[in-house]
A and B are shown apart, each in its own frame.
Chain A
Amino acid sequence: MVRLEQRPSPSAFWTYATPILAVLATMVAGGVLFALLGTNPVAVIRTIFWDPLFGEFAFYYRGQLLVKAGPLILIAIGLSMGFRAGIWNIGAEGQYIMGAICGAGAGLAFYPSESFLIFPVMIIAGALGGWAWSMIPAILKTRFGTNEILVSLMLVYVAENILASVSSGLLRNPEGQGFPGSRNLRNWDAAANTEIITGSGMHWGVVAAFIAVILAYITLSRHMLGFQIRLTGESPRAARFASVNPTALILICMGLSGALAGLAGLFEVAGPAGQISIDFNSGYGFTAIIVAFLGRLNPIGILLAGLLLALTYIGGEAAQSNLGLPSAAIQLFQGMLLFFLLAMDVFANFRLRFGRVGVS
């Protein structure tokens, strides 16, 4: 018989070891899955995890790594603040879309001006768009006690509908022969989110992600706001006793995560994606949830987890084109990763005891 016994304090060793073990377990389970699908598991694992970094075409894939990791990290950092405080914004996907729409819209309003102010205006508009979208669940929660999980999620579907509407309506490229989709921002210098170092994949969104990691780290470890966020997540009642205003905290955490998701959307639409289109969003807002948990809601961890998940995206695409692996397999792979992590978390807080307790 196996019993669980609570540790007096969470184990530091297991806190760091579990993400690594979860990744390994996912590789094994994924390998079994791929074998069942009739592909060589070793080849798949190598294609996903090794080739993009060290393979023949690594020079191309390495750049893509930052391109994919940037938005994941930026969104996950915002989410992690709220998750730590027990505030569950899971509608980042919607905030990401709204940030992209608002940012691109603000820029396109000035087309074809070449003013250097356009890009900063777009950044502000993108952040505001995501922020405003996250304020809906935040205000409903603080004002009426409405469940933020459900509301923020419902708003993802609304945002998708708005995206579909504006890409064939309000923001449609007037010179696009009637095809849905906005003008391509990459072809417009004033609005383009260009690569800062050619070939590195480093664009302004990645810079923003790194800044977010550093600021989040300082906030959580040194600042009262970080302490209040952690305290609220640990024990809401003790937080009130420590003078934390729960309403303000909800607004701050939701607003922050919304603004960061909006920023991620803006940087994506002005850079890698280039235009608002009906299939502009690709699930970063949901994958970022996995990133946040895999990184143990810790900024440095999120940085690493974001890079890892970006690797699975790129490797997954490579496996799709080289080995004919279905695209859904990689989504499944990411879901499995989260499951294994959650399952292994038990080691951090509990000790396993084997053997039966003696009854005489």
Chain B
Amino acid sequence: MTALLKIEGLTKAYPGVVANDDVSFEIAPGQVHALLGENGAGKSTLVKMIYGLVKPNSGTMTLRGQPFEPPEPRAARADGVAMVFQHFSLFDALSVAENIALGMENPPPMAELAQRISDVSTEYGLPLSPDMTVGDLSAGERQRVEIIRCLLQNPKLLIMDEPTSVLTPQEVQILFATLRQLSAEGTAILYISHKLEEIRSLCDQATVLRLGKVVGRCDPRQKSAAELAEMMVGSELRPPSRTPAEPGAPKLQVTNLSLPAPSAFGTALRDISFTVHAGEVLGIGGVAGNGQDELLSALSGEAATSGATVRLNGQPISTLGPNARRALAVLAAPEERLGHAAAPNMSLIENALLTGATRQNLTRNGFIDWAATRRFAEQIITRFDVRTPGPGNAARALSGGNLQKFVIGREVLQTPEVLVVNQPTWGVDASAAAAIRQSLLDLAHNGAALVVISQDLDELMEISDRFAALNEGRLSAPRPAQGLSIEEIGLMMGGAHGMEVAHHGTA
């Protein structure tokens, strides 16, 4: 069978970094081809070149035997290439039909388009109402909008960038059924992920990228997850060591915590209750946008609540602000590094002051002790191996992983009794992620109570003592993490969010 898309020697360099270096591979019609690699391996840049968003410095692409150089996404779409983005390119305030029309070259009139949306969505088992406002949809439904937008153009090649990071395990199964159906109909799928089990169950060919280079090709069904991981990372991974301790006294108690949604498209917290003991790690999973940010705000003190909903050692702290809670050793590290945990254009010294002022005694009568602040920043940089020319550098000049190490290190070094973190290793390479997880486990070992919110289930299973899941602002009852099955976790996360649909035409 001749190749649908052939890529030869593709190279793309940015100042200071080569994103793709001489990358070559082929995709056959109907093939499900995995592009496997860590964060920063160059997967996204590669597919952006295929989709016409980024222009390569050198190398060639051939589509159905013809030279293929899309100057812009429109041209790529015209040639039958469609893409579903990792961060959805959707418009919250517009309707489903309007969103889909925007992604098409010559959309039919709205009424006809709405009909076609309904038709395609039933055909592929992805129910969707064309008149809904996209901002009101769940993450899984939003992804469907993107997929249907692609399918309406009868693509020959469908690119999917990390599509399952926003889905529950049950929703993943629905998506996979759709993708298999498409593949059976002859559509090739380029599937980007770093989740090994998914690739093993879905894909028939894999190209592994590391630091912009192709480091391996294989049939993922013939390899074990460990073998794939080794190809991806380049060395054997050392999982964090864990010595489960007897949980101590209750540290942080949350009782019937409810909080209205902070904005029109935010999530309200509903009646959340849990207790974390000294020396314990409570892992909180869930699909993005189900109240993770809001829960962190309520625990960090950014959003005050009433009465005794949040207690530390039995004392209510619900109405205290972030600094007052820091004084009591309740610390937090939010998900968004740039713009929430750190100010992008400020130096690391100033960012050290951002949360360190209270506990590190960096101010006197409101005046800042810059020398002490610099020492604190330098301490974080050394202890957490933050790669930067110096503490005077702006936060946004750091890579995601290095900044994450700084943000986590800043809290860990302040010896918290309670630490709440959201997505501690998001976008961080494997070795840095392992280091961050180890530092969290060390804290727990020394008697701190930890709440780790994450969308990475493997991570949560690795470090949690107990596990709970957020679903539409509600928290499931925490259960011991040991021995939880993936189905049980999926149900705690809300199953398929009532979107189950029987697939027809699939095995």
Q: Give B48-62 interface residues, CB cut-off 8 Å to A.
A: 55-60
Binary contact track A1-27/B, C-beta < 8 Å → 1, others 0: 000010011100000000000000000
Q: Which residues on the B side are within 8 Å of A227 (C-beta)?
A: 350, 353, 368
Residue picked from A227, A238, A240, most chain B C-beta under 10 Å: A238
How far is B130's CA from A20's CA once the two chains are assembled, in angstroms?
Answer: 56
How far is B345's CA from A8's CA once the two chains are assembled, in angstroms?
Answer: 9
Asked if A237 contacts B340 (CB within 8 A), the reply is: yes
Binary contact track B317-351/A, C-beta < 8 Å → 1, others 0: 00001111010000010101011111111100010
Asked if B354 contacts A222 (CB within 8 A), the reply is: no
Stretch at the interface among B282-290, B305-313, B390-398, B494-502: B390-398
Asked if B346 contacts A243 (CB within 8 A), the reply is: no
Residue picked from B59, B340, B343, B393, most chain A C-beta under 10 Å: B343
Binary contact track A232-268/B, C-beta < 8 Å → 1, others 0: 0011011011110100000000000000000000000
Q: Which residues on the B side are within 8 Å of A238 (C-beta)?
A: 339-343, 354
Count chain A residues whose beta carbon lies closer than 8 angstroms to a beta carbon of B: 24
B26 within 8 Å of A by Cβ? no
> Known: A358-B57, A360-B59. Is A224-B366 also a contact (CB below 8 A)?
yes
Q: Which residues on the B side are within 8 Å of A358 (C-beta)?
A: 57-58
Asked if B346 contacts A234 (CB within 8 A), the reply is: yes
> Known: A237-B339, A241-B341, A243-B321. Is A231-B58 also a contact (CB below 8 A)?
no
Residue picked from B15, B57, B367, B397, most chain A C-beta under 10 Å: B367
Asked if A360 contacts B56 (CB within 8 A), the reply is: yes
B428 within 8 Å of A by Cβ? no
How far is B363's CA from A223's CA once the two chains are assembled, in angstroms?
Answer: 8
How far is B334's CA from A146's CA once the two chains are assembled, in angstroms?
Answer: 29
How far is B355's CA from A208's CA once the two chains are assembled, in angstroms?
Answer: 35
State which of B15, B69, B355 has its C-beta within 8 Å of the C-beta of A242: B355
Q: Which residues on the A side are within 8 Å of B323 (C-beta)?
A: 242-243
A36 within 8 Å of B by Cβ? no
User: Shortest CB–CB separation between residue A160 and chain B, in angstroms?
Assistant: 38
How far is B346's CA from A243's CA once the two chains are assembled, in angstroms?
Answer: 17
Q: Which residues on the B side are within 8 Å of A241 (C-beta)?
A: 300, 302, 322, 332, 334, 340-341, 354-355
Binary contact track B69-99/A, C-beta < 8 Å → 1, others 0: 1000000000000000000000000000000
Asked if A9 contacts B366 (CB within 8 A), the reply is: no
How far is B351's CA from A230's CA once the two chains are assembled, in angstroms?
Answer: 12
B179 within 8 Å of A by Cβ? no
User: Shortest CB–CB separation between residue B388 and chain A, in angstroms?
Assistant: 10
Q: Smallest CB-CB separation from B336: which chain A residue?
A: A237
Binary contact track A88-120/B, C-beta < 8 Å → 1, others 0: 000000000000000000000000000000000
Q: Smallest CB-CB separation from A10: which chain B residue?
A: B345
B452 within 8 Å of A by Cβ? no
A225 within 8 Å of B by Cβ? yes
User: Shortest CB–CB separation between residue A145 and chain B, in angstroms?
Assistant: 12
User: Shortest CB–CB separation between residue B334 and chain A, in angstroms?
Assistant: 7
> Known: A9-B393, A243-B323. Is A223-B368 also a contact (CB below 8 A)?
yes
B463 within 8 Å of A by Cβ? no
How far is B393's CA from A222's CA once the two chains are assembled, in angstroms?
Answer: 19
Q: Smallest CB-CB separation from B394: which chain A residue?
A: A9
Q: Give B105-133 interface residues, CB cut-off 8 Å to A.
A: none
A357 within 8 Å of B by Cβ? yes
State which of B55, B321, B368, B397 has its C-beta within 8 Å of the C-beta of A359: B55
Asked if A230 contacts B340 (CB within 8 A), the reply is: no
Q: Give B351-378 interface residues, CB cut-off 8 Å to A.
A: 353-355, 357, 363, 366-368, 370
Q: Smallest CB-CB separation from B301: which chain A residue?
A: A243
How far is B59's CA from A5's CA once the two chains are assembled, in angstroms?
Answer: 24
User: Shortest CB–CB separation between residue B57 and chain A, in angstroms?
Assistant: 6
Asked if B368 contacts A235 (CB within 8 A), the reply is: no
Binary contact track B208-237/A, C-beta < 8 Å → 1, others 0: 000000000000000000000000000000
Asked if A242 contacts B354 (CB within 8 A), the reply is: yes
9 tightest A-B CB contacts, nearest first:
A8-B397, A243-B323, A9-B394, A234-B343, A235-B343, A243-B322, A360-B58, A237-B340, A238-B343
5 pairs of residues in contact across A and B, judged by CB atoms under 8 Å: A10-B345, A224-B368, A231-B343, A234-B344, A237-B340
Assuming A8-B393, A10-B394, A238-B340, what are 4 further A-B pairs, CB within 8 angstroms? A9-B393, A224-B368, A235-B344, A238-B342
